[in-house]
Amino acid sequence: MIEAINEAMRQEMERDPRVIVLGEDVGENGGVFRATDGLLEQFGDQRVFDTPLAESGIIGTSIGLAINGMRPIAEIQFLGFVYQAMDQLAAQAARIRFRSAGRFACPIVVRSPYGGGVRTPELHSDALEALFTHSPGLKVVMPSNPYDAKGLLISAIRDEDPVLFLEPMKLYRAFRMEVPEEPYTIPLGQARVVKEGEDVTIIAWGPTVPLVANIAAEMQAKGVDAEVIDLRCLQPLDIDTIIASVEKTGRVMIVHEAVKTGGFGAEVAALISERALFSLSAPIVRIAGYDTPYPVPSVEDDWLPNPARIAEGIETLMRY
Amino acid sequence: MFDPDKLPVEIVQILDENGNGDEKKLAAFSDEWLLRAYREMRRARVIDERLLRMQRQGRIGTYAPFSGQEAAQIGSALALRKDDWIFPSYREVAVCLMHGMPLEQFFHYVQGRLSGKRMPEGLNIFPTQIIIAAQTLHAVGCAWASKLKGESQVSVAYFGDGATSEGDFHEAMNFAAVYNVPVIFFCQNNQYAISVPYRKQTASRTIAQKALAYGMKGVLVDGNDVLAVYETMKQAVEAARRGEGPMLIEALTYRLGPHTTADDPTKYRRPEEVETWRTKDPLHRLRVLLERRGLWTEVQEEALVAQVNDEVTAAYEAAIASKAGSIVDVFDYVYSEAPTLLAEQKEEVMRRKQRSGVR
C-alpha cells in the first residue's frame, strides 16, 4: 500500500505543478514510513518541504497555500498527533468554503497513518475518524488496500474540498496486490462490496476490512454466507450500498477500531434503523475498540476487534 | 547570555500627541497624503461610532469597535497594494474598508446574513477570523504560495496582543522565518485582551522583540501616529516584496471603547487611564497639524462627518433592502457538491418551506 500511495502522489505531482508535499520528515527522509520516498529527489525543495515540527502550523499554512492556488498534500506523522491541529482542521480548513459563502475553497489533502496492532508508543495507533465525520466540510477517506489507496488518493488530490486521507499503518506492507501503473481515480463516496452474501452484512473500513474478509471466508465453510462492505469513504457516505445490503440480509455487524461510543459505527447503525428497521431480523452488532484510551501493546490484540470477537458477533446474529 | 532587560527599546514616532514632529521627517509627507490619511481616519471613526449606536438600538448584532486604533489600521492599509492579501481578525473593520470592502458588505455581516460572509470577487481579503491567531498561519501559507508562484503580493496577518500568547502565532512566526516568505505580522497592541492587561499576557517588555527568537526583524511603532505606522509598514512591505522575508510590527495603541458591545470595560479599566489615552488620540494630533498648516477647518470637518453619516445610512438601508438569505442556502457552501445525506437534509427543509408556504 505504501508504494501505491507514493505512486499516486508522484503521478499527481507530475501532472499538476500546483501539487506540493509538506510535513515532518517527508523530504530527505522520505517520510517515517517512506510514503514520500524519492519525491524530494524528483521534484526538488520547492515542491517537497520538511517542515518545522508543528502540526497546527502544517495544516494552517496548507490552508493559506490552498486559497492562493496551490494543492498541498500535508502529512500528519501519526493521527494521534492531530489533536494539536484540531482547530486548523475542524474549525478552519473545514469551514473556509462556508465562512466565505463560496468565495474561497480549501483543496488540501491531509494524509495520516493510524491503526493498531503494530506495537507503537502511546497516541500512534488511535483511530480518530469520528472526530472528523462530525466536522462538516471535511471529507474522510479510509482505504483498506493498495488499489483503492492509489485511486482514492488521486481523487482526493483532485478534489475541491479538504480531504482527510487515513492510512492504516498495519496494512502499509501487509500484502501485495496488482496496482495499475497508470493514474486512475475512484470516486469519493462509493463503497465496495468485497464479498457478496445473503445471511449477514458486515460493514467495515480501513484496517478491519481484511480482517472481516478473512473471517467471512472462514464462515462460508461453516455455512454462514456473509456480505462484506468496505465503506472506503465515511464522508461522503455511500448509504445506498449499505441499505441495499441490509434489506437483503436483515442482519448487520459493524466493525471498526475506534472506540465504540460515539464511533462512526453508531452513525451507520442509526442510519440503518432510520431507513431499514423493518428489514432487520436481529439487533445490530457493533465490534469496536472499548471505551478506553488506546491501550498498551501488551493488551492491544484483545482490545481491538479480533477474530474471536467477530466470530462471536456473527454467532449472535445468526441465532435470530 | 541574551538578557531581555538589556535590549534597547525604541519606538518609531514621527508625529507626537500634540501634532509636533521633526520637520525633515514630516516633509516626506505631501499635504495631499496627510489630508487623505485624516479623511480616512475620520471616516472610520464616524462609521465605528455609528455602528456602536446601531448595535445599542438593536439594528445590528454584536460588534467589536476599534475607536482609538484608526492610525494603526488606516496607516498600515495605506501602505498596501490593492492586490496584497490581508487576513483580519474581527476588529479590523477599518483595514478592510481601506482595502476595498464595501460598507454595505459589512452590514450584511453584522446583521448575521450569509451574504455577509462573501467578500466581493477580486478583493484579497480573507473572511473575518474569530479564533485568536488562527489567521496568522493562513497568511504565512498565502505568502508562501505567492513566493512559490513567483508573484509579488505580500500577505498581512492582523491580530492583537492577546494573540501573541497563542501557539499558532509562534508556529506562524517560525514557519514564516524558516521559509522566508513575504508576510507582515501586524500586531495592534491595544493593551487589553478583553479584560486581561498586557502585563498579565506576557513578560516581554515588547511584542516586537518576540521576532528575534525566530530570526526575524521586529519593530515597535507608535500605533496612534498614522505617519509612523505608514512609514514602518511601507518599509516592511517593500522589504518583503524584495524577497527579504517577514517582519513583525507592534503598533502600540489603545482600545478606547469596549472589547465588544457585550462588554463593560469599567470593570477592568480605570477612567483616568482611558482619559490619558484620549489625549493621545490618533485623529487629534493629525488634525492639529493640518489646522496649523491651514489645510483643514471646522467647516470641512462637519461636511465630512455629515457625508460619512449619509454614507452609513445609505449602506445600511441598501443592506436591509436586499434579499435576506434563508435556511435553504446554508447547505450550498459546505462542500463543492452536497453529499447525498446533506442533499436530503436540504430537500427536507425545502419540503417544509413549501408546506408552510414560507418563502
CA A127 to chain centre: 9
Residue A179 in domain: no
**How many angstroms separate the CA atoms of A195 and A206, rounded?**
16
Which runs of consecutive H residues, i.e. helices, occur in chain B?
A: 23-26, 31-56, 70-78, 93-98, 103-110, 134-149, 167-179, 198-201, 226-241, 271-278, 282-292, 298-321, 340-356
Whether residue A24 is found in the same domain as residue A130: yes
Structural domain contains residue A296: yes
Question: Chain A: nearest CA to B47, how far in angstroms?
Answer: 23
Chain A residues with CB-CB distance to B126 below 8 A: 67, 100, 104
Q: Of A136, A171, A206, at which residue does a domain stop?
A: A171
Q: Which amino acid is at A247?
A: E
CA distances from A168 to A33, A128, B128, B187, B332 (A): 12, 12, 37, 42, 32
- Compute CA A3 distance to the chain's CA centroid, rounded to the nearest angstrom: 17
B155-160: strand order across its sheet = B85-87, B155-160, B183-189, B247-252, B217-222
Same domain for A125 and A208, yes or no, is no
As given in the structure block, the three cell numbers for residue B268 are: 477592568
d(C-alpha A289, C-alpha A117), whole Å = 12
Looking at domain B4-324, does it have CATH number 3.40.1190.20?
no
Interface test with A, best of B333, B337, B340 (most A CBs within 10 A): B333
CA B351 to CA B327: how far, in whole Å?
Answer: 12
Containing structural domain, residue A14: 2-171
Answer whether residue A10 is part of any domain.
yes
What is the rounded (10 degree) CA torsion for A152, A156, A161, A165? 80
Q: Report CA-CA distances (Å) from B169 to A49, A101, A302, B55, B92.
A: 20, 26, 42, 31, 17
Answer yes or no: is A112 within a domain: yes
Q: Which 3 state secondary structure label does DSSP give B258? A: coil
Q: A28 and A160, same structural domain?
A: yes
Q: Which residues of A touch B117 (CB under 8 A)?
A: 98-101
In a domain, A186, yes or no: no
Least Cα separation, residue B81 to chain A (angstroms): 17
* Residues sharing a CB contact under 8 Å with residue B158, sequence separation 6 or more, in sequence order: B76, B86, B87, B88, B89, B92, B95, B135, B186, B188
Q: Which of residues 187-206 of B touch A (CB under 8 A)?
A: none
Residue B343 has pLDDT above 90, yes or no: yes
Q: Where in the sequence numbering do the catalytic residues of B fall?
A: 255, 259, 268
Q: B175 vs A189: CB contact, 8 Å cut-off?
A: no
Cell of residue B322, nine digits: 436586499
In chain B, where are the structural domains located?
A: 4-324, 326-359
* A120 inside domain: yes
- Annotated catalytic residues of A are 124
Do A215 and A98 sit in the same domain of this protein? no
The Cα B320–Cα A210 span in angstroms is 58
For B278-327, what is each residue's pLDDT tens digit? 999 999 999 999 999 999 999 999 999 999 999 999 999 999 999 888 99
Cα distances from A56 to residues A90, B129, B317, B337, in angstroms, run 11, 16, 42, 27
Q: Round to the nearest angstrom and report the end-to-end CA distance of chain B.
A: 70
pTM of full prediction above 0.95: yes
Answer whether A109's CB lies under 8 Å from A163's CB.
yes
Spatial separation of the C-alpha atoms in residues B241 and B146, rounded to whole Å: 10
Q: Output the pLDDT for position B252.
A: 98
B171:A54 CB<8 A: yes
All 3 cell numbers of residue A46? 520547492
pLDDT of residue B143: 98
Residues 261-300 of A with CB under 8 A from B: none
Helices B103-110 and B298-321 pack at an angle, to 10 degrees, of 50
Q: Which single residue is written with the C-alpha cell 440480509?
A: A249
Q: Do residues A150 and A262 share a domain?
A: no
Question: Do A163 and A206 belong to one domain?
Answer: no
Residue among A58, A60, A46, A51 at smallest CA distance from A17: A46
**Which tens digits make up the pLDDT trace of A175-186?**
889 999 999 999
* Matching residue, cell 481484511: A210
Q: Is A201 found in the same domain as A165?
A: no
Whether A200 and A98 share a structural domain = no
Element (H, E) at A166: strand A163-168
CA distances in angstroms from A246 to A199, A254, A267, A282, B63, listed in the order given: 10, 12, 15, 11, 52
Cis status of the peptide bond prior to A236, with omega within 30 of 0: yes
pLDDT of residue B358: 56
The amino acid at B122: G
- Residue A185 domain-assigned (yes or no): no
User: What letter represents residue B65's amino acid?
Assistant: P
Please give the biggest Cα pair distance in chain A.
Answer: 61
- DSSP H helices, B19-59, are 23-26, 31-56
Same domain, A221 and A289: yes
Q: Looking at beta carbons, which residues of chain A come within 8 Å of B139?
A: 64
Instruction: State the best of B113, B154, B171, B184 to mutate against chain A, taking most chain A CBs within 10 Å.
Output: B171
Q: How many domains does chain A have?
A: 2
Judgement on whether residues A107 and A74 belong to the same structural domain of the protein = yes
- Residue A51 shares a structural domain with residue A160: yes
Q: How many whole angstroms separate alpha carbon A78 and alpha carbon A256?
A: 18
Cα(first)–Cα(last) distance of chain A, in Å? 38
Percent of chain B surpassing pLDDT 90: 96
Nearest to A87 among B115, B131, B175 (CB): B131
B346 in reach of chain A (CB within 8 A):
no
The total of other beta-carbon atoms located within 10 Å of residue A86's CB is 17
Question: Residue A74 and residue A56: Cα distance in Å, rounded?
Answer: 11
Asked if residue B359 has pLDDT above 80, the reply is no
Chunked mean pLDDT (size 10), chain A, 320 residues: 97 98 97 97 98 98 98 98 98 97 97 96 96 98 98 98 98 93 98 98 98 96 97 98 98 98 98 98 98 97 97 96
- Least Cα distance to A62 among A132, A54, A189 occurs for A54
Q: What is the grid cell recorded at A242?
A: 449499505
Specify whether A165 is located in the same domain as A28.
yes
The answer to whether residue A277 sits within a structural domain is: yes
